């Protein structure tokens, strides 16, 4: 008898990457935290610290499906600890995980979604990939721009750990909004539909 389960299981865990603590809250590196914070707020849920997972966890219902939202408490470079702990406990496969993160290779205001691929030096993604031993998780890439392209004399480490300028912050918030608009499709396993909608919606872009 054929299984009624869809070929694509859809997203069941959404991980926002960032660093815990008030001093990091508005930094560029915490775009992923902001993404899942918005999801929790819109879903009428709130985060609680789950020490066994070394993470803050919330649960929302999207399209009739329970989805776990995760903010690792381990700081960026060890993000994979929480991801693997939750994935093993709930038996989530890598392709049921969506990681929202800041992306230097996209301008502020742009947002893209993809599965797998390289990590472009992003330490949070690097740790997740290493601990999962698999790169098939999905990514919501929230553009923050690159200091070189913005004409700033900052190294990357300093740039990501500072708040964006006002016009960049508005653009990042717009990108987060557009990413949120396709999450329901990803949960339903409609990945191509989600990417088409996301990638054809024009970015606002940061003012010059």
- What CATH number does residue 34 fall under? 3.40.50.1470
Residue 207 in any domain: the answer is: no
Mapping DSSP to helix (H, G, I), strand (E, B) and coil, where does residue 82 land?
A: helix
- DSSP letters along 8-41, please? S----EEEE----SGGGTTSGGGHHHHHHHHHHH
Residues 179 and 38 sit within 8 Å (Cβ to Cβ): no
**Which pLDDT score is estimated for 154?**
83
Total number of domains constituting the chain:
1
Lowest mean pLDDT among 17-31, 80-94, 124-138, 148-162: 148-162
Residue 145 in any domain: the answer is: yes
**What are the backbone angles phi and psi of residue 39, rounded to the nearest 5°?**
-60, -45
Residue 208 in any domain: the answer is: no
Catalytic residues: 29
Query: pTM higher than 0.95, yes or no?
Result: no
Residue 115 in any domain: the answer is: yes
Residue 3 in any domain: the answer is: no
**Which pLDDT score is estimated for 121?**
81
Residues 111 and 140 sit within 8 Å (Cβ to Cβ): yes
- Closest listed residue to residue 139, CA positions, set 110, 117, 120, 168: 117
Instruction: For the beta carbon of residue 48, count every other beta carbon within 10 angstroms.
Output: 10
Per-residue pLDDT of 24-71, as tens digits, reads: 999 999 999 999 999 999 999 999 999 999 999 999 999 899 999 999
**Which pLDDT score is estimated for 201?**
73
Could you identify the residue written with the tokens 């993160």?
101
Residue 179 in any domain: the answer is: yes
Domain of residue 50, residue span: 13-200
Confidence at 117, pLDDT banded by 50, 70, 90: confident
Residue 31 in any domain: the answer is: yes
Residue 1 in any domain: the answer is: no
């Amino acid at each position: 008898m054929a299984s009624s389960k869809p070929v694509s299981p859809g997203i069941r865990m959404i991980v926002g990457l960032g660093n815990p603590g008030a001093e990091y809250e508005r930094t560029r590196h915490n775009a992923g935290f902001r993404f899942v914070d918005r999801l929790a707020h819109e879903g009428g849920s709130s985060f609680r610290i789950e020490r066994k997972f070394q993470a803050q966890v919330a649960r929302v219902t999207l399209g009739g499906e329970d989805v776990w939202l995760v903010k690792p408490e381990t700081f960026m470079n060890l993000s994979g600890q929480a991801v693997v702990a939750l994935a093993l406990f709930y038996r989530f496969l890598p392709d049921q995980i969506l990681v929202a993160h800041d992306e230097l290779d996209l301008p502020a205001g742009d947002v893209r979604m993809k599965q797998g691929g390289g990590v472009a030096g992003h330490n949070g993604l690097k740790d997740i990939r290493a601990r999962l031993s698999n790169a098939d998780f999905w990514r919501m890439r929230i553009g923050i721009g690159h200091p070189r392209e913005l004409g700033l004399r900052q190294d990357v480490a300093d740039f990501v750990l500072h708040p964006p300028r006002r016009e960049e912050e508005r653009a990042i918030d717009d990108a987060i909004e557009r990413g949120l608009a396709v999450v329901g499709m990803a949960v339903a396993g409609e990945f191509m539909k989600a990417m088409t909608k996301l990638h054809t919606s024009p970015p606002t872009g940061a003012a010059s």
